[in-house]
Amino acid sequence: MRYVYLLLATLLLLGLVACGGTTATPDAPAEVDPAELPQVVDAETVASIQDDPEVVLIDVREPEEYAAGHIPGVTLIPMGEVPERLDEIPTDKTVITYCRSGNRSGQVMQFLQQQGYDNVHNMEGGIIAWEQAGLPVE
């Protein structure tokens, strides 16, 4: 069976080269499976999966902080409002929380885990790390 997979992989690679496709290079980012993330993820990983329909980013900062700059397309649920807004946080998707530095969002991640969320993660370094990585903010 292993030989069948090897043969299929070789044929796929040859097909891509023959059709003018590109192959992965050592510098190319690996594809990330949102269901297999560690509890704490870095900004670059979040950026690579943020457009996945199975991923929900939640900014847990205050509205003033959010207005000063946030990741495009995120949901704002300030930390103090999380308990009363649990119905807005899906249990069937990958949830990633972030704040300014990762402290508040880490607490929210732990709270959500206590509420039964099993696919919730914290973005390490928060919006500070996101901006330092040169990622877009609106």
Whether this model's pTM surpasses 0.85: no
Q: Pick 37-132's CATH classification: 1.20.120.140, 3.40.50.1820, 3.40.250.10, 3.40.50.720.
A: 3.40.250.10
Q: Is 4 exposed, middle or buried (0-12, 13-18, 19+ CB in 10 A)?
A: exposed
pLDDT (average), residues 114-126 = 97
Query: Tens of pLDDT along 59-80?
Result: 999 999 999 999 999 999 999 9
Contacts of 8 (CB under 8 A, 6+ apart): none
99 is catalytic: yes
At residue 32 the predicted structure's pLDDT band, cuts being 50, 70 and 90, is confident
pLDDT (average), residues 7-36 = 50
**Measured distance CA(98)–CA(103) in Å, rounded:** 8
Residue extents of the structural domains in the chain: 37-132
**Measured distance CA(134)–CA(118) in Å, rounded:** 30
Quote the tokens at residue 109. Answer: 């991640």
Among candidate residues 99, 108, 109, 129, the one labeled active-site is 99
**Measured distance CA(73)–CA(138) in Å, rounded:** 9
Task: Look at residue 41 in the predicted model and tell me its pLDDT.
Answer: 97
Mean pLDDT of all residues belonging to the chain: 85
Q: Which among 61, 41, 62, 60 has a CA at the least distance from the CA of 52?
A: 41
Task: Look at residue 43 in the predicted model and tell me its pLDDT.
Answer: 98
Task: Look at residue 35 in the predicted model and tell me its pLDDT.
Answer: 83
Are the C-beta atoms of 104 and 61 separated by less than 8 Å? yes
Task: Look at residue 61 in the predicted model and tell me its pLDDT.
Answer: 98
